[in-house]
Structure 1
Amino acid sequence: MQGVTGDGRAAQDGLWGRRVHASILPWPALALLLAGCQGPLSTLDAAGPSAQAIATVWWWMLAVAILVLAGVVAAWMLAMRRGAAPQGDGAQQSAGRTERRWLVWGGLVLPSVCIAALVALGSPAGLHQLPLPGKASGVPAPLQIEAIGHQWWWEVRYPGHARAQRNEMRIPAGRPVDVITGSADVIHSFWVPRLGGKLDAVPGRSLRVRLQAHEPGTYRGQCAEFCGVGHAHMGMTVIAMEADAFDAWLAGAGPAAATSEAGGTVPQRGAQQ
């Protein structure tokens, strides 16, 4: 417990008399937190333009949140160090003006500025997720892929091609991909954190989200909507390939069924499960 002097201020042997040395800061904990920014399901370990736009918004939000927290803590510490409030009509009027300033600037102006900045910064990031026509010259047209959610697996099809995958999606690196989501039963959610935003797969509806991988690699996808007892195991592997290798793989498709990781097959449309 800290001592309190007669004027209500904390004694120097209490909170304000303590020193915090850099040597006791939790550096191992900080290292662990930073290590959490990477990984197959980390939205901060972006591997494509859509995911990078989301990560940029997140870092800006974190920076602003830290500044706001620092300002609130500084104001709190300043208020704790102040002595007893003076008495009298003049002092009460001054206190009233101070309260109104805090209400206007802290309760109205600051939130309005933060929300406006978030909208201005977040809107372009949202456009990265939409299947809009490409503007950059030399960029190939987006590839369309269907991802249909089932309890509890993903059916992946390539319109116009005799390809059907189970829990595996192959895409060309460096090319936009418009994923068309759907569901055969309940609401699922398609999400590949390192490549783009998430999008629900709703029965009876077709929704689209754009992904793109900067370079070849293997990325992890996961259903992000609780869809039943097998939800936790409803994952997907996304393999980004070189453009030529992907075209050869897509053209070399056989019958519209593919062996799954569990040894099953993706049935033809309309077939009984």
Structure 2
Amino acid sequence: MNEPAPIRSRDNPLLKRLRVLAQDNTAYRKQGQVWLEGDHLCRALMARQHLPSIAVFAESAWASADPALKHAAPKTHTVPDALMAGISGLESPAGMGFVWDLPSDLGVKTGVPTVVLDRLQDAGNVGSILRSAAAMGFAQVLAIKGTAALWSPKVLRAGMGAHFALRLVEGLAAEDLTTLNLPLLVTSSHEGEWLHETCLPCPCAWVMGHEGQGVGDAVAALATRSVRIIQPGGEESLNVAAAAAICLHASACAAQGIA
């Protein structure tokens, strides 16, 4: 590996681009790239057999960095710590990060276990559901238009690397779900079959709805089944990320033949 190329000007074009990627929720859509800040996300990318196009290290972090991270990208740069902190959207900036080129031309894949996000707004909820989807063996997450940007910095951090295990498609309309050719299960806090009593189809597509409004009418009209979770404690509803984890775990158990 060649020695990293130093960058020392705040006005360097790469640093300007990274600041936008790190701090603008939808900049990735125009640039076709994401900024992965910190050791954990960078290692998660490589663990899924993906490689970055650019690696950037703070000068103070370079000497002690893992050689695997140093050698990961065809282009590597070091920057003064103050400039690295200027890129970051975090209170405690990381010492390194990767630029990764997003997969292009992804469409809805038929017949694979899927989670549908119907206009979810909270980045933490979206990232948490991506983690649960990846952990429970779901291969695809589809976002109806109006859902928080899937590759935004906050969702990336909340996802903790789950993004790289999933096929992610966003900006969809309800009618796009018809190409899934899967039973579509919608969640409800007040109607439908009890999750613990129903026989879940495998594979299937679970729909998680807006935090306040639930699943929209257009998506609900396509549903094969409505399912609810028993709540003996009497709360009005569950947080959507918690509900998703419960439902996806139930599907994972059904797929493994676990009662």
Q: Same fold (TM over 0.5)?
A: no
TM-score, structure 1 normalization:
0.25
TM-score, structure 2 normalization:
0.26
Larger radius of gyration: 1
